[in-house]
Structure 1
Amino acid sequence: MPRFSIIVPVFKVQGFLRECLDSVLGQSYADFEVIAVDDRSPDGCGAILDEYAKLDARVRVLHLPENVGLGRARNAGMPHATGDFLFFLDSDDTLTPGALRAIADRLEETADPDVLVFDYARTYWWGGTRRNALAQVLAEAGDGVFTAAENPEILELLMVVWNKVYRRDFVTEHGFAFPPGYYEDTPWTFPTLLSARRIATLDRICLNYRQRRQGNILSTTSRKHFDIHDQYGRVFAYVDAHPELAHWRPYLHRKMGEHCLDILAKPDRLPARDKGEFFRRTAELFRAHRTEEPVPAELRILEGSYVRYRARQRAAAVKKALDLRAEQARTMAAGRVGNGLSWVHAHRSLDPNLAVYSAFSHRGVLGDPAAVHRAARDLAPHIRGVWVVREDQVEHLPPGIEYVTPDSVRYRQITARAMYFVNNVNWPGTLVKRPGSVHIHTHQGTPLKYMAADLLGKPGARYGFDVPQMLRRADRWDYSLVANRHSELVWDRAYPCRFTSARTGSPRNDVLVNAKPDDGAAFRFRHGIPEDHTVVLYAPTRRDHVRGGHVDRFDLARFAEDLGEGHTLVVRLHPSLADGPARGMGLAELHRRGIVVDATDEPRVEEVMLASDALVTDYSALMFDYANLDRPIVVHADDWGAYTASRGAYFDITADAPGHVSRSYRELAWLFASGCWRDEESARLRAGFRARFCEFDDGRAAQRVVRTLMLGEPDVPESVPAPAAGDRDVLTTGTR
């Protein structure tokens, strides 16, 4: 028998059905059957299903003689299921690549639980993707199995059937079935979860939940929403028939009240003339199933009349409007006070011993600015350093860091008087550069892809970028730090502004140039990596031509396995992808299982690099920094043509690579299996790359910035050759 029986009810989805079926039949895990139930669909769905059944023996089609609705269509498919687990997939949704393999692995790991709950992402008609907002519930559930009583948070997830798989014997034993109606998932989901003796979770996005432009069926305005009362009646009837579940009655009573009031509060769910009746029906049900537990304050309204409910809603709306008006008034008043203070401080003299730092849009003490700040503490302790840090990052600051939060009164006071500004991102447009202040822009590495003004010819890549505004902010720069002549030429072109290029090297790379053998030991210990393992760091960049920016270029689990014993694969996603759905597509689950190490959240990327023995990347600027370690680099360029067409590149990294180049997964795996990733040719290519792009990185960059740009002392990089006749000054080149 197959591992999965995937039951797909089908009705009026001919535009989405092929995508749904292809997402299933294209899975790498093939031990499943598809039972497609044609619910008398009036469009071309039936013919599409028959076509797929002829092409793939795993697909069976049931054509129902009449339309019975979603729940009963699922019921019709269940008697034909022979798999170990039932998977109810809606016919306009899709499975993510590798989903069935991940589910099968988790089922094996947890010894076939009654129910396995996995994660999903909402995919919008306009192309956006948003992960389930309660994904943390799955992550916090742990590695083992549990009951709903042991982990009641599992009941807070969306009450739907399609984010779970169910052991078929468990379903048969309890006789679970879907009732007719609008909210048919409710009387299935509560009984199955409350009855399950063994529940497991999978913290991975396995399904894309399609959000149609007109919304789903539950978003329509209709009296059909009255069905919710009947469905909760079925839930209470199930609990009444199973005395061992009686302790769940208070929870279900509260949940029912919240659910019904939520429907009533939405302006587009019920016709206005029916809202009073809906409230009364809800109140009757609420009274009928009341327990001895105290009624929560927010639900006591159901003990009164609809008139009282409407009065409270109107009062809440008025209060909200008044609160908003008051908040606007407070904001305006604070702005006037702040502007007044800023004006006062802006007319005081600059403080020559005050420097302001920021990195990655105020994310903390990181990158080049952090390296400059450390050097300034040693070389110029009289210069007070203050960091601009987002409120949500304050708790992560190292001890002893003085900071202000953006747009606070203290922020305005500090930035109005500071002499030095050090940042790797442009300061906001509201910050006015005062005459005499010194703005040092460190950038975020050596550029390969097009930046700033060069993006004007790449409209797809500059989506969300306001290039003219970016350049107006760059007009405040006094110095632009560069690690090589390539960067100097690029920044001159990409930022046609008045600044001086400072050939200082990249301050954050000092720790790489001065690396000692045991510098990465702390990272390895923290992540349980054996000392004798070869650590391969995989650091892909984002794709501007793909919605969301993330594409899995190859199977991480397969690569980790192909690397073999004695190797550890460490993955670090691009920072812009850290908070999106990318990690939920499999990386987080692979990290939990110890197959790979997810280093995306590591605050200091330099430490991750120090802990590795080799780098695999596509087009990430990280390779230019990593080259300072003189360790092997492999460029995986399987979509170089598409990448350059969409984003643009300043040179062909496949022709001027820091090591071997792979153009397919097969080539990448062969490079490591054969040992060529660290052969003489790799070393030769890396030496040429280092000579070109690590030109000014000599381990003294942070000191050089402090001495020359803040203290005014001379300091010529020892590694920089004397300039040719007519060339600009070695340390600082002419102002544009």
Structure 2
Amino acid sequence: MTRFSVIVPAYQVQAYLSECLESVLVQDYPDFEVIAVDDHSPDGSGEIIDDFAARDRRVVPVHLPHNGGLGPARNAGMARARGDYLLFLDGDDTFAPGALRAIADRLQRTGDPDVLVYDYDRTYWTGEAQRNALSHHLGQAGPPVFTLDDRPELLRLLMIACNKAYRREYIARLGLAFPSGFYEDTPWTYPTLLAAGSIAVLDRVCLHYRQRRRGNILSTTSRRHFDIFDQYDRVFAFLDEHPELARWRPVLFERMLDHLGTVYNSPGRLPRSARTEFFRRCRAQYRRHRPAQRRPAASRRSSVRYLLTRLGAGRTYRLLWRVDQLGRAARGAARTAYRKLRAALLLAHYRLQAHRRIDPHLAVFAAYWNRGYSCNPAAIEAAVRQLAPHIRTAWITTPEFAHTLPEGVRRLHPGSAAYWTALARAKYLVNNVNFTHRLVKRPGQIHLQTHHGTPLKHMGLDLQEYPAAAAGTDFDRLLAHADRWDYVLSANRHSTLVWERAYPASYTTLEYGYPRNDALYRASADDVRRIRDRLGIATGTTALLYAPTHRDYRRGQFPLMDLERLARALGPRFVLLVRSHYFYQQPLTTASADGATVLDVSGHPSIEELCLAADGLLTDYSSVMFDYANLDRPIVIHAGDWAAYRAARGTYFDITTEPPGIVAEDEDALAEAFTSGAWCGPRAAELRAAFRARFCRYDDGHAAERVVRRVFLDERQPDGLPPVLPLSDRTPAPPPGECADGVQRAAQRPSRGTGPDGTEPVGGLSGRTPGGGAGTSARPPNARSSAPAEWSAAARARPLRPST
């Protein structure tokens, strides 16, 4: 017996079927069969199924003698199924990478429940992907196994068959099958959830639910939409056969009325001549299935709809629906007009404020498009409060990130009158991206552009050669923004050369290092230990920070590797700290693999703290590698899609031949790098030493002080600024412990420039010592990071007090 029977019905899906079947066959979980059912399709779907079956014995072809529709095709697949669990996948949908492994792991951890509900996203023909808007109902907090009485909110999810795994023995005992006709999922999904003695959820996208450009079959105009009445009759017949489930009748009654109303009001579903008949059937359905006791309606609008359905007042129902739609449109237009009027008044206010004198003691800061207190601006702001207390500071951010601001720092709401007043009158403007294009820099204002990473991928004007990655960038506006800059920060000479070429303007480059990296030199062993304790990292455990970057050539977030598989290979002495890119709101993983731990730390407020807590860094092409190199701890590069990444965006040098450590081309090589100990061996140390010498030239723990003294205190003499310490004289924060192979990095760190041990980087890449040329990183480490805590010029040796 196999674990999973994946049933794939196919009818006129030849353009998508190969991708669908391939998404199953490439899963890293091998214990499954694919029952591909050709529903007598007139196109090439049947031939595609036979081709796949010929080359992979896990594909079981089924050819039906006549077309019966989706329901009968699924039934034909179930009749051939041998697996413990039934999974359904329509011929134009796909499984996400690692989906079967995640489902199998969750089933094992929850004791093989009757039904497992997992999440999906809608993938559009434009390439856009949107996760299920009700995914919060799949949270895994609370009891791992439950019944529908414990979590009735699951009935609010889209009632489709393809986002669930069903225990085959349970379905056989229930005697369920799919009916023919439209809306065939309705009399399947409701009964399977209602009668289940055990349900579990998996808060992970396992299904990519394709949304075709011309819609699906339910968007066609046809009398077949009348099938919905028969389908709900089957649902209530099931309740009649199971009187112990009678308590669910009021809930299903309301779900039915809402569903019927959706079909009636949806443009293009019902022929115009059939509308009156359809609503007459709605009235009959209301009377047939009305429960003895009704629940209070969720809203007044619902009460009116239900009453009109009961009375059979179809025209009034339709009229009120149109009035409601018009009301929504009118409210939307009013909101738009209000926004435009408000924007015009605020712009006039800004222009008026620009005629007032500049406030010499006001500095305005922002970072990552107003996403909170973080990065270089935050480190500089903290230093200003210590070294230049006569200057008042204000920070632009939204209420969502207000909690990140230190006590005493004034918050400016983006777009408010106070925001425009501050932009008009502040002497100092500091950002790691750009302020609004409506900002007109006044004579006497000082604009400091800190940037937020060492550039590996092409930036600025260099993107002109890559129009797809530029995504409609207005290069004239880009240059206009650069013309506002007075100072630009640089962490190394490579960055200096890139910035001055990619953003040609008359600013002054300050080669002072990145202030955000001061924290990596000022933290003590106690600080590191406290951070690890807060994160729940056990003593003696090796923590790896996994921080991938954004892909320009892909839309939305997608898994770049199977993290659960890697965690299993590493074993229980490792913990993976997974940090998704700040462009995305969803975590990369939510699972804990057996024998190892995977922790999502995307919401942690400080990337610096995560770096301090980690024994090593695993990344691809993120600029966090350049910051992390300051700690002189191992870095591993996963370069599985390097060719595609470089072709899509362009890079300033080849990170696979000039890396900061071991390079792995695939997941097998990556696991080998860690399990063999090569990730922190002598060769890795040699590569890291050369990388640090090249890209950590100015980071020594005193970058923020140099910036404040030069920009805010106008100390222009070089001898008045803290000199940059030579690399050999710097002492980064002590590492948490030992590498996986027992090499104690704190006491036995290889000296810089030591010779190689003769081993080659994992994955067959050359890994030669970096030479000359341009340097690296793409996106910033994370907008949610926060700056180092209090800073004092008189106490440079004092350790960092980590943020909480």
Q: 3-state DSSP class of the match of 1:15?
A: helix
Whether 1:631 and 2:633 are equivalent positions in the alignment is yes
Q: Is the 8 A contact 1:696 1:717 kept in 2?
A: no
Q: Secondary structure at the match of 2:14?
A: coil
Verify: 1:481 aligned to 2:475, yes or no.
no
SS in structure 2 at match of 1:531: coil
Moved more, 82-91 or 25-34: 25-34
What is the CA-CA distance between 1:653 and the residue it aligns to? 2.5
Distance 2:676 2:75 in 1: 53
Q: 1:130-187, CA deviations, whole angstroms, 9 ceiling, x for partnerless residues?
A: 2222111112564511111110111111100111111111111111111121001001
What does 1:496-511 align with in structure 2 at a 5 Å threshold?
496-511=504-519
Structure 1 position 549, deviation (Å): 5.9
Contact 1:542–1:550 (Cα < 8 Å) also in 2? no
Superposition pairs of residues 431-446 of structure 1, within 5 angstroms:
431-446=439-454
Paired residues of 1:372 and 1:706 also in contact (CA < 8 A): yes
C-alpha spacing 1:66/1:678, structure 2 compared with 1 (3 Å): closer
Give the superposition deviation at 1:57.
Answer: 2.7
For 2:510, the aligned partner's letter is A
Matches within 5 A, 1:457-606: 457-548=465-556, 550=558, 552=560, 554-576=561-583, 578-579=584-585, 583=587, 587-590=589-592, 595-606=597-608
Query: Is 2:44 aligned against 1:44?
Result: yes
Query: Which sits farther off after the overlay, 94-103 or 587-596?
Result: 587-596
Bigger drift between 688-697 and 621-630 goes to: 688-697
User: Contact conserved, 2:540 with 2:573, CA < 8 A, in 1?
Assistant: yes
Q: Note the 1:193-232 alignment, pairs <5 A.
A: 193-232=193-232
Amino acid at match of 1:589: A
AA aligned to 1:650 is: Y
Please list, as runs of the form range in 1=range in 2, the aligned pairs for 1:136-147 lying within 5 A after superposition. Answer: 136-140=136-140, 142=142, 144-147=144-147
Q: Residue 298 in 1 paired to residue 306 in 2?
A: no
d(CA) in 2 for partners of 1:641, 1:92:
29
**Counterpart position of 2:707:** 705
Paired residue type of 2:48: I
Query: CA–CA distance in 2 between the matches of 1:685 and 1:695?
Result: 16
Partner of 1:615: 617
Pair 1:392 & 2:400 matched: yes
Using the TM superposition, give the Cα deviation of residue 35 of structure 1 relative to its aligned residue in structure 2, in angstroms.
Answer: 2.2
Which segment is superposed worse, 243-252 or 26-35?
Answer: 26-35
Aligned in 2, Cα 1:65/1:558: closer, same or farther, shift over 3 Å? closer
- Give the aligned partner of residue 671 of structure 2: 669
> Would the aligned equivalents of 1:405 and 1:411 in 2 still touch at CA under 8 Å?
yes
Q: Which residue of 2 aligns with 1:130?
A: 130
- Amino acid of the structure 2 residue aligned with 1:706: V
Counterpart of 2:724 (choices 699, 719, 724) is 719
Give the whole-Å Cα distance in 2 for the aligned partners of 1:678 and 1:266.
Answer: 61
- Equivalent positions of 1:153-552 (< 5 A) are 153-291=153-291, 292-294=293-295, 296=297, 297-299=300-302, 300-304=304-308, 305-395=313-403, 397-548=405-556, 550=558, 552=560
1:357–1:212 CA distance, 2 compared to 1 (3 A): same
Question: Take 1:229 and 1:610, find their aligned partners in 2: how far apart are those partners?
Answer: 61
* 2:10–2:39 Cα contact (<8 Å) kept: yes
Structure 2 CA distance for aligned equivalents of residues 357 and 566 of structure 1: 42
State whether residues 591 and 598 of structure 1, in contact with CA within 8 Å, keep that contact through their aligned partners in structure 2.
Answer: no
User: What secondary structure is seen at the aligned counterpart in 1 of 2:147?
Assistant: coil
> Cα distance 1:452–1:549, how it changes in 2: closer, same or farther (>3 A)?
farther
- C-alpha distance in 1 between matches for 2:567 and 2:325: 55
Q: Helix, strand or coil for the counterpart of 1:406?
A: coil
Q: Secondary structure at the match of 1:419?
A: strand
Q: Supply the AA of the counterpart residue of 1:109.
A: R
The question of whether the paired residues in 2 share the 8 Å contact of 1:562 and 1:669 is answered with yes
User: 1:122·1:131 contact (CA, 8 Å) conserved in 2?
Assistant: yes
Candidates 666, 680, 683, aligned match of 1:681: 683
Change (3 A) 1:314 1:7: closer
Distance change in 2, residues 1:234/1:400 (3 Å): farther
Q: 1:570 is matched by which residue type in structure 2?
A: L
Is the CA contact (8 Å cut-off) linking 2:616 and 2:633 kept in structure 1? yes
Distance 2:350 2:566 in 1: 55
Question: 2:373, 2:404 within 8 Å by CA — same for their partners in 1?
Answer: no
Q: Which amino acid aligns with 2:721?
A: V
Give the direction of change, closer, same or farther, for the CA distance of 1:530–1:166 in structure 2 (3 Å limit). Answer: same
- How far residue 591 of structure 1 moved from its aligned partner, in angstroms, is 7.7
TM-score scaled by structure 2? 0.85
Cα distance, 1:39–1:657 mapped onto 2, change above 3 Å: closer
Give the conservation status (yes or no) of the 8 Å contact 1:222–1:269. yes
Contact persistence 1:357–1:387 (CA under 8 A): yes
| Deviation readout 1:224-257 (Å, 9 max, x if unpaired) | 2222222112111211221111111111111111
Evaluate the alpha carbon distance shift between residue 661 and residue 5 of structure 1 in structure 2; reply closer, same or farther with a 3 A threshold.
Answer: closer
* Maintained 8 Å contact 1:371/1:702: yes
Counterpart of 2:305 in structure 1: which amino acid?
Answer: I
The residue type equivalent to 1:678 in the other structure is: C
Matched residue of 2:15: which SS? Answer: coil
Q: Deviations over 1:4-63 (max 9, x none)?
A: 122222211122222222222222222222222222212222222233333333322232
Q: How many matched pairs? A: 715
- Cα distance change on mapping 1:713 and 1:539 into 2, 3 Å: same
Secondary structure of 2:517's aligned partner: helix
Alignment partners' CA distance in 1, 2:172 and 2:590: 33
Q: Which amino acid aligns with 1:661?
A: V
Residue in structure 1 matched with residue 106 of structure 2 by the alignment: 106
Q: Which amino acid aligns with 2:2?
A: P
3-state SS of paired residue (1:588): coil
Shift in Å, 1:295: 5.2
Give the counterpart letter for 2:611 in structure 1.
M
Residue 469 of structure 2: SS of its match in structure 1?
coil
Q: Is the 8 A contact 2:705 2:722 kept in 1?
A: no
TM-score normalised according to structure 1 size? 0.93
Structure 2 counterpart SS, 1:208: strand
Aligned equivalents of 1:4, 1:139: Cα separation in 2: 24
Cα distance change on mapping 1:231 and 1:536 into 2, 3 Å: same
Q: Which has the higher mean CA deviation after the structures are superposed, 245-254 or 16-25?
A: 16-25
CA RMSD of superposed structures (Å): 2.2
- The AA in structure 2 aligned to 1:82 is R
Give, in whole Å, the separation in 1 of the partners of 2:348 and 2:455: 41
Aligned identity (percent) is 52
Shift of 1:660: 3.0
Distance 1:274 1:331, change over 3 A: same
Q: Which runs of 5+ in 1 are unaligned?
A: 722-736
Name whichever of 560-569 and 163-172 sits farther off: 560-569
Moved more, 242-251 or 308-317: 308-317
Distance 1:54 1:635, change over 3 A: closer
Aligned equivalents of 1:505, 1:56: Cα separation in 2: 56
Q: Using the alignment, how far apart are the partners of 2:622 and 2:354 within structure 1?
A: 40
Relative distance call for 1:550 and 1:43 in structure 2 (3 A) is closer
Q: Residue 520 of structure 1 aligns to a residue in which SS? A: helix
- The answer (yes or no) to whether the contact 1:458–1:648 under 8 Å persists in 2 is yes
Distance 1:203 1:187 in 2: 25
Shift of 1:550: 4.2
1:635-650 maps to which residues of 2 (within 5 A)?
635-650=637-652
- Is 2:14 the partner of 1:14? yes
CA displacement 1:579-609 (0-9 Å, x = unmatched)? 25xx45xx22248996312222222110100
Unaligned runs of 5+ in 2: 727-804
Secondary structure (helix, strand or coil) at the match of 1:349 reads coil
Query: Which one-letter code corresponds to 2:552 in the other structure?
Result: D
